[in-house]
Amino acid sequence: MQKHKGFILQIGTSPIDGHRFVVILTMKSKNRKTGNMAQVWILREDVDPVTAVASGADETICGDCGHRKQPDGSRSCYVNVGQAPLAVWRAYHAGAYRSDLHCIDARKAVKGRRVRFGAYGDPALIDPMVFRIIANAADGHTAYTHQWRQPWAQWAAGKMQASCDGLTDYLEASAHGWKTFRVTPKGGAADQGKQCPATVPDSAAQCLTCALCDGAKADIWVEAHGAGARYVAA
């Protein structure tokens, strides 16, 4: 099979605000924490990620996530949208990715690979059938959603971690059957669950070799990281 830089898996309308988003699968990653996993991006289709964050249009693909840009200008999301997300969005508009809305080639491409759903954007927006095809073809996956309270996101329980921003979130999500991924302030820890193995000092673990965050295995916590970590409150 001819190798492709990536695939367009879905173009949809967000249940959050009615705007269009695109789901793109890319095949390589240089991310040191995750390792070389295949990456699934959920992007606002008509607005580049940098402009979307600045204008609030990222609501389309991030919903009410508390790590989005706040009125005071702070933003605790670890993703630098001016890097990989912007590059992927530009490549999409330049025609770099093959349209594969039935996932025929994409499922072959991820065979034997681990997939990171939501390298940017909330993966609960992905069509459940698209998610299932890619996840079933892959050799494991990771996925996290901040939309775990939304009725339209309930299909993702058992397939994605519920992203939690405190003990209250953790208790609520757990009570509804979700495995959780909890962010703690820098220097903090959680009494519940297991610390992300890739963030343990001197650990050589990567998401590629771990894959605990598949929505079914364990509750995980991690210290806030990235440029916005200072904005995560205790």
Condensed to tens digits (0 to 9), the pLDDT of residues 107-166 reads: 999 999 999 999 999 999 999 999 999 999 999 999 999 999 999 999 999 999 999 998
What's the pLDDT score for residue 231? 38
User: Going edge to edge, which strands form the sheet with 20-26?
Assistant: 98-99, 6-13, 20-26, 38-44, 115-120, 141-145, 161-164, 180-184, 220-223, 194-195
Q: Which of 95-104, 147-156, 206-215, 223-232 has the lowest mean pLDDT?
A: 223-232
Q: Mean pLDDT over all residues of the chain?
A: 92
Provide the b/e sequence for 175-213 (b: ≥16 CB within 10 Å): eeebbbbbbbeeeeebeebeebebeeeeeeebbbebbbb
Domain ranges of the chain: 6-231
Condensed to tens digits (0 to 9), the pLDDT of residues 30-65 reads: 888 899 999 999 999 999 999 999 999 999 999 999
CB 129 within 8 A of CB 111: no
